[in-house]
Structure 1
Amino acid sequence: MALNSKTLAAILDDDDLLLLDTVQSQKYPSILQLEDISDTQCKHLFRFDKGGLNDLRCMLEIPQVFRCNNRTVCSGMEGLCVVIRRLAYPNRLDDLSPLFGRTKFELSNIFSTSLDYIYENYSYLLDTLDRPWLSLDQLQVMATAIKNKNSPLENCWGFIDGTVRPICRPAHNQRIVYNGHKRVHGLKFQSIMAPNGIIAHFYGPVEGRRHDAGLLRESGVEIDMHRHMTTPNNEVFCVYGDPAYPLTPYIIPPFKGAVLSANQARFNKRMSSVRICVEWGFGKLLNLFAFLDYKKNHKLYLQPIGKYYKVAALLANCHTCLYGSETGSFFGLNPPSLQEYLHR
């Protein structure tokens, strides 16, 4: 007679259930042995080659062992691989069981524990512009690279933009997250893309109905820019945004209006040709971590969606540090080293 899970739970105690779970996990023999796969296979599965994964584990100071709340134990490398593989593609946890030799319950706990570790220890890198690789000297280098691409601005070091990421329609408070412009339920994020391919600042999530100007004010990034991007001679470095942003000393939008002069139209056209790199940044994030683009599994009240995006943005920056990016190639700039980017 076949027994369902409720019947088993009724006749077995906790120790028996733990033993049963261990026996069931043996149905999934692990095929994950990094030393036995090629760099190409490793990069396909985990977005980093074997050397890159080892560098990432060391630089992120991943502990040797992760101990989950339910007493599941895994190595630090396995935890890192679970996080990357889970975000890399819209897999179900059942789909990952044969790869890692774990039940979906174990994988769920390993994923959450490892994700929390990365988020709690390194998400601040996306919250502040006070970083060594964003020194005044480096800002000047980036501004010069943008200027050399026919930009009319001499002090522009990056590009700011907001994006709406669709989510599964929530059961409650649907109007709050509904974006009328995109006609989707979603969450909004704001990012600043540097010309070396690094996402320098990443803010969110906020409700999908919010305006980009509201995100700018709420993020406080202008205060951060005032502190760290003003030279001793009171000259400022700015970022360029779309028409949704207001004109400030640190944010430059295009000229607005139905009738523009020839010079104003020329300015907008020249800046538009270099601003496209911010879209490349979002594109790379979604290409590397396609799980973020699967809205049916983004359930607002059941999952930490904002945490997924921040960790994915951080890992995308690490990927850029190791392998470069289309944006960096376009502007002829190298990203900071992984050690320099993750330096505390």
Structure 2
Amino acid sequence: MEMEKTTDPTSFHGAYRMTPATFDELLALVGPHIVKQTTNFRDPVGVSERLGITLRYLATDMSQRDVARHFCVGRATVCKIIQEVCQAIWEVGAPLFMAKPTTEDWKKIAEEFNNQWNFPHCLGAVDGKHIHIQKPALSGSLYFNYKRTFSTILMGVADAAYRFIYLDVGSYGREHDGSVFAQSTFGKALEDGTLLLPQSPNGDLPYVFVGDEAFPLKPQLMRPYPGKNLSDKKKIFNYRLSRARRVVENAFGIMVSKWRILRQPIIAKPEKVDKIVKAIGVLHNFMREKEGLEVECDVGSESGMTDVQIRLGANMYSGAAWDIRENFANHFSSPQGSLPYQNDIVQRGLNI
């Protein structure tokens, strides 16, 4: 059984969130890994239909039961197909579209951040979001978050072009950004020095990641200055950091705009949710490469995902981290590092 493609590209794109040509590229990539052998009892669901079932579920508000009715297959079959296809998308696509950066890759990412968002030596923007789910059985309060809903946490690091460099999903909803980041493989690799990060020729301005106030200040992770009555220098730093940090917010917004299953609680066990979200992350990067940024995507809108709670004590820092943030703040207020419009924006209290 194979999926019949509509002759109307607009209708096809509305149903599967990609053009027929892009669908065929994705099918060629994952098809060999999701094919099923014919049995003596019945013909299996064809590879194109298996991919179509999965994309239709991820891209729309349809439940698995509705998808099963639409494709005229059993609900249990749909559930199994979605998990197998999502696993294949992650295993095949992650090494191609979310590969671990080399030292040269990091330098290119930093150059893009400086050119597009005016933050030198920035390697990525970090943030975490709640992925809302149904209450897992016998889970107690592990997935119960501060919004009084149930969720698992998605931690992402995005580059300057809204692509995800790294994704980690599966932490309990009751946790906060700082602890999720510290426990993630990315956070551990950052602490261990195993990310192959480049060395800055300017010791005062090392290569760093940027995050919001939910993250701790570290030598390789910059966060805003806290408080309201800040000096102009600190306000300018916060503005410049905000310009770079919003990239990851926009990346989440683009992802939710296209893959609308993220707009509502996902009805699946946590381990199955993890596979779904990781596959969506790969599809996000795949689509950014193949079709770019679409006009329909509401950049910056992440309806369906909420911010992770800020923990008390997140503003703790070392002296080295404080010095690095001060160096960036001084640079942004200097003739060499300032933007011609930043003082006006700060004085008007905009975008801080």
- In structure 2, C-alpha distance between the alignment counterparts of 1:241 and 1:232, rounded to whole Å: 20
User: How far is the alpha carbon of 1:53 from its aligned partner?
Assistant: 0.7
What is the SS of the residue equivalent to 1:73?
A: coil
Match of residue 267 from structure 2: 298
Match of residue 203 from structure 1: 168
Match of residue 16 from structure 2: 46
Check the 8 A contact 1:167/1:299 in 2, yes or no.
yes
Pairs within 5 Å for 1:1-344 = 32-34=3-5, 36-60=6-30, 62-63=32-33, 65-67=35-37, 73-97=44-68, 99-123=70-94, 129-130=100-101, 135-146=105-116, 149=117, 151=118, 153-180=119-146, 182-222=147-187, 224-225=189-190, 226=193, 227-231=195-199, 236-295=206-265, 297-300=266-269, 304-325=272-293
Check the 8 A contact 1:64/1:77 in 2, yes or no.
no
Check the 8 A contact 1:187/1:208 in 2, yes or no.
yes
Check the 8 A contact 1:31/1:98 in 2, yes or no.
no
Q: Which moved more, 1:48-57 or 1:230-239?
A: 230-239
Check the 8 A contact 1:88/1:290 in 2, yes or no.
yes
User: How far is the alpha carbon of 1:271 from its aligned partner?
Assistant: 2.3
Alpha-carbon spacing, 1:222–1:177, altered in 2? closer, same or farther (3 Å): closer
Alpha-carbon spacing, 1:124–1:71, altered in 2? closer, same or farther (3 Å): farther
Check the 8 A contact 2:212/2:224 in 1, yes or no.
yes
What is the SS of the residue equivalent to 1:260?
A: coil
- In structure 2, C-alpha distance between the alignment counterparts of 1:231 and 1:326, rounded to whole Å: 35
Alignment-mate amino acid for residue 154 of structure 1: P
What is the SS of the residue equivalent to 2:142?
A: helix
User: How far is the alpha carbon of 1:48 from its aligned partner?
Assistant: 1.0
TM-score (norm. length: structure 2): 0.72
Alignment-mate amino acid for residue 298 of structure 1: I
Offset from partner CA, 1:141-194 (integer Å, 9 cap, x none):
313224xx4x3x3111321001112222344333221222x3322111110111
Alignment-mate amino acid for residue 315 of structure 1: L
Q: Could you list the runs of 5+ residues in structure 2 that have no partner in the other structure?
A: 298-352
Alignment-mate amino acid for residue 196 of structure 2: H
Q: Could you list the runs of 5+ residues in structure 1 that have no partner in the other structure?
A: 1-29, 330-344
Alpha-carbon spacing, 1:218–1:287, altered in 2? closer, same or farther (3 Å): same
User: How far is the alpha carbon of 1:289 from its aligned partner?
Assistant: 1.4
Alignment-mate amino acid for residue 134 of structure 2: C
User: How far is the alpha carbon of 1:117 from its aligned partner?
Assistant: 2.2
Check the 8 A contact 1:162/1:188 in 2, yes or no.
yes
Match of residue 18 from structure 1: none
Check the 8 A contact 1:129/1:224 in 2, yes or no.
no
Check the 8 A contact 1:189/1:202 in 2, yes or no.
yes
Alpha-carbon spacing, 1:247–1:128, altered in 2? closer, same or farther (3 Å): farther
User: How far is the alpha carbon of 1:278 from its aligned partner?
Assistant: 1.7
Offset from partner CA, 1:95-125 (integer Å, 9 cap, x none):
2245434233433333232223223444466
What is the SS of the residue equivalent to 1:307?
A: helix
Offset from partner CA, 1:12-65 (integer Å, 9 cap, x none):
xxxxxxxxxxxxxxxxxx99412x422212111111111101112223464472
Compare CA radii of gyration and give the structure with the larger one: 1
Check the 8 A contact 2:144/2:174 in 1, yes or no.
yes
Q: Which moved more, 1:76-85 or 1:201-210?
A: 76-85
User: How far is the alpha carbon of 1:79 from its aligned partner?
Assistant: 1.6
**Share of identical aligned residues, percent?**
20
Check the 8 A contact 2:90/2:278 in 1, yes or no.
yes
Check the 8 A contact 1:32/1:99 in 2, yes or no.
no
TM-score (norm. length: structure 1): 0.73
- In structure 2, C-alpha distance between the alignment counterparts of 1:172 and 1:79, rounded to whole Å: 32
What is the SS of the residue equivalent to 1:66?
A: coil
Check the 8 A contact 1:187/1:205 in 2, yes or no.
yes
Offset from partner CA, 1:185-211 (integer Å, 9 cap, x none):
211111011111211110121001112
- In structure 1, C-alpha distance between the alignment counterparts of 2:127 and 2:42, rounded to whole Å: 42
